[in-house]
A and B are shown apart, each in its own frame.
Chain A
Amino acid sequence: MAMYNLSVNGKKVKVDVEPDMPLLWVVRDFVGLKGTKFGCGMALCGACTVHLNGQPARSCQTPVSSIGKNDKITTIEGIGDGKMHIIQKAWIEEQVPQCGYCQSGQIMSAVALLKTTPKPTDADIDSAMSGNLCRCGTYDRIRKAIHKAAEEIQMSESGIGKM
């Protein structure tokens, strides 16, 4: 075991775990944040997506030992800063989730996309979101929700946001 000092959603946490333990299990079972999901264990489905310094990362393939103490980890519980994130609101508007299990990962990928590409085209959405699997088949609504959130961000920047 080894002690790791992590920054999760802006809070310092200390965990005593094996160095090869994936961040996924550290976050879920040692930090107690269950919103990040296990789906495949091989970075194939995207359910475990978190942000590492703002970049989407597959936490099931990120050993805790690879994380530096200045690295900032953000999970689904941390994206809204205590409020509902504009993406989460768009997800509700479009009634995206069915079972909802993959949606934490979908939302983390979408938030990262809008940060770098505030006005994504369909092609941008295709390339940013196609690593996140949804077995319920909510893809069409995910696409619509991302477009909606992008519009909303632009409107709020011009001062006429409603959501």
Chain B
Amino acid sequence: MKVAGLTSVGLALGISGFAKDASVKKIATAVLRLEINPFIIIATDGSITLVNPRPDMGQGSTQAVPSLLAEELGVELEKILIIQSDGQGKYGSQTSGGSSSVRELWMPIRKAGAAAREMLTTTAAKRWEVQASECVAEDGKILHKASGRSLTFGELAEDASKLEIPKEPKLKSPKDFKIIGKFNKRLDVPDRVTGKAVYGIDVDIPGMVYASILHSPGIHGKVLSIDDAETKKVKGVLKVMKTERTMPHRTSDAVAVIATDWWAALKGKKALNVKWDNAQYDQTVNTAKYFEATYEAAKKDGINFEEKGDFSSKYIASKEKIEANYETPFLAHAPIEPENAIVHVKDDGSVEIWAPVQGPDWALRDVCGYLKLKPEQVKINVTLLGGAFGRKAYHDFLLEACHISKELKKPVKVIWTREDDITQGPYRPGMLSHMQGFVENGKITGYHHHAIGESIAGQVFKQLNENEADPWLSGELATENNKYQFSAASKVSWTHVKTDIPVVWWRSVYASNFGWGQECFIDELAHLAKKDPLKARLAILSDDRFKKVLETLAEKANWEEKLPEGTGKGLAVFSSFGSISACCITVSKKDKGIKIDKVVSVLDCGYYVNPDNVKAQTEGNIVMGITAAIKDGITFTNGVCDQTNFHQYNVLRLKETPVMEIYIIDSGSNPGGVGEPGLPPVAPALGNAVFAATGMRIRKLPFDINNIA
């Protein structure tokens, strides 16, 4: 990681909050020290520094965020030095999550850049005694073209810093964008192909020791006894200690092996003989029992989240109706870089951390809460993340390192094994969608989605009352989100089925679960209405953006083409994180199963920064979406995870990756998310394609693509 030493005086701009009306304010003191630096510093040496509040886990935030600044400042992207923010409150929200980087920073960063440009321009104009309107910012300079004069930002920074910050700086018009919306190579790529990129697992701190941690096979079991006789024979093992795994909602026992290197710690862990009391966890950490409970719940009414018209009575009275249950499994995130962290609890009680976390602000909050420290006592160095997908915004592994380092008063590097990652969670919750619907005169007019399962908000944040529907449904299932207009009646309801299996957000959160039920069932209703699935959707959509996305998909995927027997196309559309994505998948019968011939994806994410990165993220969403549909889910039998490593928790491989085509719609709308919205329509498009090709309706994920029966 590059760390800038800021010693020169210059123009420093901070951004208060990230609300849409965020105002840019000047930091009163000239910038002399790193601790008081705000988001953007233009120093007298001409350097431009951006404190990036979105860690990069592969989604491209280290390009997207500085691009917003470079565009307004009129400098090349290469000119901006990036420092990762450290979680302190003055930087506001700093978590890469919810596909938020561009959509939340779009206005604040551009406004700050535009304000700085105006201040530099005003300063130059004053010096030359010309009108500011005659000057332009280009390549880190203010130019007065009429006279051919120019001054660098560095030459102007100190005087500019004495000006009032313009409250409403004039933003560039999108038609003048030179960086935003254009292809630019990601500057971080060379380091990522030469082994130079530094991920959390790559950090070494002088004097550090390594820890490997034995977790309860039943996740929450209590340690009854520890026999470490064999462990202590392993060369390099320094200590065996009882430790704890602190999740947001509860703390579980664990045993740490500390050693001079991680291989020794791992060997020591394998040699441990620990007895656990797994209490009732064989019953409550148990996916079969959990899903049984969800299917039972599907037979009863849930709590209404929203209802338009009297769905239940109209459903009873309707003549053409169907109902079905759609199931999605628990899933591990399985980033290829396993969870890891270095924590140094120092003698004076202060703490320094090096870790791949999605949000240093959340990490700071959790560490301060856990160690009972003030934010200023904790310094967090966020590294690059070797994948995360939601997992690295859950800090159990980080707090383990805190616990051990507090005991040892040494820097401790905790590295989870792949087995820890896959068997311990947290996971995307498995969910059941109980769907009901009816059609009248060839049109889908009644629809009910009953969402059933463990609540992320409920388990992680304890923010769910038993008599209320999960508020997080609003992001996915509410009719104002899917835009379908059911003229007779519609309903979204919820039943909370609890589990002791830890759950958390996973790429696209509930959308990855509930998109499956919604979009496959709409397909079923279309067939019930004897309508083409595309036309049936368009008939109940009036939203122009949704219609454009679907019409573009139909055109690009050649939806109308006649297909040979045994080949079929399926489509799905889903809106999440402020964007609309639709997907069309073509499959054909092969032996007892099917093969995926092609995937076409269309995304309307409003304004975007780099079209190539939007495509890359969508490719990733297609691969992860297919993986979630046809590869392994996570199951627990009698309290123990059945999958341990990639031989039992398979992910899609290169040879299985289908031909993909991705189209971005330039809607000119406010920026939406990019990192997640492409995923939710993938699985239902595949399920609908299987139906089109084979007549088999898949309702439970994952399914075996080689054996459709």
Are the C-beta atoms of B652 and A137 separated by less than 8 Å?
A: yes
Quick check: is A51 within 8 A (CB to CB) of the other chain?
no
Residue from the list A1, A33, A133 in contact with B336, Cβ < 8 A: A133
Known pairs A35-B194, A44-B647; A137 contacts B621 (CB<8 A)? yes
Residue from the list A33, A40, A75, A88 in contact with B418, Cβ < 8 A: A40
Cα–Cα, bound, A152→B623 (Å): 28
Of chain A, the residue at the smallest CB distance from B203 is A34
Cα–Cα, bound, A29→B208 (Å): 12
Residue from the list B193, B338, B415, B621 in contact with A96, Cβ < 8 A: B193
Which one of B55-63, B395-403, B428-436, B535-543 is at the A interface?
B55-63
Residue from the list B192, B266, B617, B657 in contact with A139, Cβ < 8 A: B657
Residue from the list A44, A104, A134 in contact with B195, Cβ < 8 A: A104
Are the C-beta atoms of A133 and B651 separated by less than 8 Å?
A: yes
Known pairs A44-B645, A98-B58; A135 contacts B334 (CB<8 A)? yes
Of chain A, the residue at the smallest CB distance from B626 is A137
Are the C-beta atoms of B386 and A99 separated by less than 8 Å?
A: yes
Which one of B71-79, B111-119, B182-190, B687-695 is at the A interface?
B182-190
Known pairs A42-B646, A140-B619; A34 contacts B655 (CB<8 A)? no
Quick check: is B494 within 8 A (CB to CB) of the other chain?
no
Of chain B, the residue at the smallest CB distance from A133 is B651
Q: Using Cβ atoms and an 8 Å threshold, which residues of chain A touch B266? A: 41
Given pairs A99-B57, A143-B654, 17 additional interface contacts (CB within 8 A): A20-B267, A25-B261, A29-B261, A30-B261, A38-B338, A38-B415, A88-B194, A97-B189, A99-B385, A99-B387, A102-B386, A126-B655, A130-B656, A139-B623, A139-B654, A141-B616, A142-B654
Which A residues between 95 and 134 are near B, CB-CB below 8 angstroms? 95-104, 107, 125-127, 129-134
- Per the CB 8 Å criterion, the residue count for chain B at the interface is 66
Quick check: is B235 within 8 A (CB to CB) of the other chain?
yes
Q: Which of B201, B235, B266 has the most CB of A within 10 A?
A: B201
Are the C-beta atoms of A18 and B59 separated by less than 8 Å?
A: no
Q: Using Cβ atoms and an 8 Å threshold, which residues of chain A touch B189? A: 91-92, 95-97, 100
Which A residues between 1 and 50 are near B, CB-CB below 8 angstroms? 1, 18, 20-22, 25, 28-30, 33-42, 44-45, 47
Q: Using Cβ atoms and an 8 Å threshold, which residues of chain B touch A88? A: 190, 193-194
Known pairs A39-B338, A141-B616; A21 contacts B198 (CB<8 A)? no
Are the C-beta atoms of A41 and B417 separated by less than 8 Å?
A: yes
Residue from the list B417, B617, B651, B654 in contact with A135, Cβ < 8 A: B651
Are the C-beta atoms of A99 and B193 separated by less than 8 Å?
A: no
Are the C-beta atoms of A130 and B194 separated by less than 8 Å?
A: no
Are the C-beta atoms of B336 and A135 separated by less than 8 Å?
A: yes
Cα–Cα, bound, A21→B236 (Å): 12
B contact set with A: CB distance below 8 Å: 56-60, 185-186, 188-199, 201-202, 204, 235-236, 261-264, 266-267, 334-338, 384-389, 415, 417-419, 612-613, 616-617, 619-624, 645-647, 651-657, 660
Are the C-beta atoms of B654 and A91 separated by less than 8 Å?
A: no
Of chain A, the residue at the smallest CB distance from B644 is A42
Are the C-beta atoms of B645 and A135 separated by less than 8 Å?
A: no
14 contacts between A and B (CB under 8 A): A38-B201, A39-B418, A41-B645, A84-B190, A99-B57, A103-B193, A130-B653, A135-B651, A136-B620, A137-B624, A139-B623, A139-B652, A139-B654, A143-B657
Cα–Cα, bound, A25→B645 (Å): 19
Q: Using Cβ atoms and an 8 Å threshold, which residues of chain B touch A40? A: 418, 645-646
Q: Using Cβ atoms and an 8 Å threshold, which residues of chain B touch A68? A: none
Quick check: is A138 within 8 A (CB to CB) of the other chain?
yes
Q: Which of A80, A100, A142 has the most CB of B within 10 A?
A: A100
Are the C-beta atoms of B387 and A135 separated by less than 8 Å?
A: yes
